Amino acid sequence: MLIDVLLTSEKVRMRDSSAVEQKLNQIISADKDKLLVVSDFDYTLSRFHDPEGKSCLTTHGVFDSAAWTVSQELGMILERLKEKYLPIEFDPHITVAEKIPHMEDWYAFFHSLEGAEELMLMLRDHNVPLIIFSAGIGNVIDFFLRKELGRFPSNIHIVSNMMKYDENDVAVAFSEPLIHTFCKNSAVISRYGSLFSEISSRTCVLLMGDSLGDSKMDVGLECEQVALKIGFLNYNDETLLAKYLDGYDIVLLDDQTMHVPPACINCRLESKSKSHVSTEEESVAVNDKIPNLR
């Protein structure tokens, strides 16, 4: 059983395993067309560090690296902003309300993982909507998906800060409203009428993120009946762990893979009917999808 594997994994933490098991059972017993996946991108669908321990770039990091090649002065300005605002975003002693003005300041300036590909392809094949909420740069995500998947899947929707270009194809601004860590939720996409229509009947939500704010990305989903929330904690910090366990059902400690999330929904997607997902089916799905967690 999946819950048994999760309970014995060194990388998995749960505050209430019984609640997690109940949510898993609800997802497994629902129709396939009731499933919706909501995910952050940086350090959730992408890696926090590589196998050698070297930090990987975020979408802003890609932008910053390019800035250094254009101008050393611009590169230094962006580096100073990161040094100032990043500690604020992850400080467990500062409330969300206190953090929001700082995050707006940071992102306003830009205005003036192993297995992730497999997960996205599985969702595409089963026509499950994937909403990628990102406080990063959406153009970088778009480019990455087209490069890794060959084309942009129709089931994926990016809600992020998109660069706007002038008639000379020069980036001059970002789309509004600016999206930062603590405003990433379904209320932001109210202007996307077709997207809201597509997800209006999706009652089972799998949510994935790497920050405390990400755990609220499902706020505004009026049809939601059950939400299984998986948090990627990439820092070895017991204080942060306690906070993450308040916001997420499952917390993955420095897990640079995308093995757990697919396992949570694979037995539902691969089964032939909602009325019967056998223990054998689930065991096969778990063994296939979580080979290296113990």
pLDDT tens-place string over residues 115-152: 888 999 999 999 999 999 988 888 878 888 888 888 89
Question: Which of 37, 25, 40 shows the shortest CA–CA distance to 261?
Answer: 37
Per the domain annotation, does 285 fall within a domain?
Answer: yes
Q: Is 64 a catalytic residue?
A: no
163 vs 228, more confident:
228
Tell me which of 4, 40, 142, 214 is the catalytic residue.
40
pLDDT score at 104: 59
How much is the average pLDDT of 5-25? 93
Tell me which of 42, 214, 249, 255 is the catalytic residue.
42
Return the residue matching tokens 């997800």: 199
CA quadruple 138, 144, 146, 148: dihedral positive or negative? Answer: negative
Name the band, by pLDDT with cuts 50, 70 and 90, for residue 22: very high
pLDDT score at 109: 46
Please say if the pLDDT value at position 94 is more than 70. no
Per the domain annotation, does 259 fall within a domain?
Answer: yes
How high does pLDDT run on average in the chain? 79
Residues 235-290: tens digit of each pLDDT: 877 889 999 999 999 999 988 888 999 999 887 787 654 544 445 555 444 555 55
Per the domain annotation, does 187 fall within a domain?
Answer: yes
Question: Which of 192, 157, 159, 158 shows the shortest CA–CA distance to 178?
Answer: 159
The dihedrals phi and psi of 140, each to the nearest 5 degrees, come to -65, -40
Burial of 17 (0-12, 13-18, 19+ CB in 10 A): middle
Per the domain annotation, does 26 fall within a domain?
Answer: yes
The domain that contains 82 carries what CATH number? 3.40.50.1000
253 beta partners: 233
What is the spatial distance between Cα 293 and Cα 30, in angstroms, rounded to a whole number?
27
pLDDT score at 290: 57
pLDDT score at 174: 81
Domain residues for 103?
2-289
Contact 48, 258 (CB under 8 A): no
Per the domain annotation, does 180 fall within a domain?
Answer: yes
How much is the average pLDDT of 45-50? 78
| Count: domains in the chain | 1
Report in angstroms the alpha-carbon separations of 291 from 44, 90, 124: 19, 31, 23
Please say if the pLDDT value at position 226 is more than 90. yes
Per the domain annotation, does 154 fall within a domain?
Answer: yes
Per the domain annotation, does 294 fall within a domain?
Answer: no
Per the domain annotation, does 210 fall within a domain?
Answer: yes
Name the band, by pLDDT with cuts 50, 70 and 90, for residue 105: low
Three-class DSSP category at 138: helix
The dihedrals phi and psi of 131, each to the nearest 5 degrees, come to -100, 120
Q: Is 42 a catalytic residue?
A: yes
Contact 46, 58 (CB under 8 A): yes
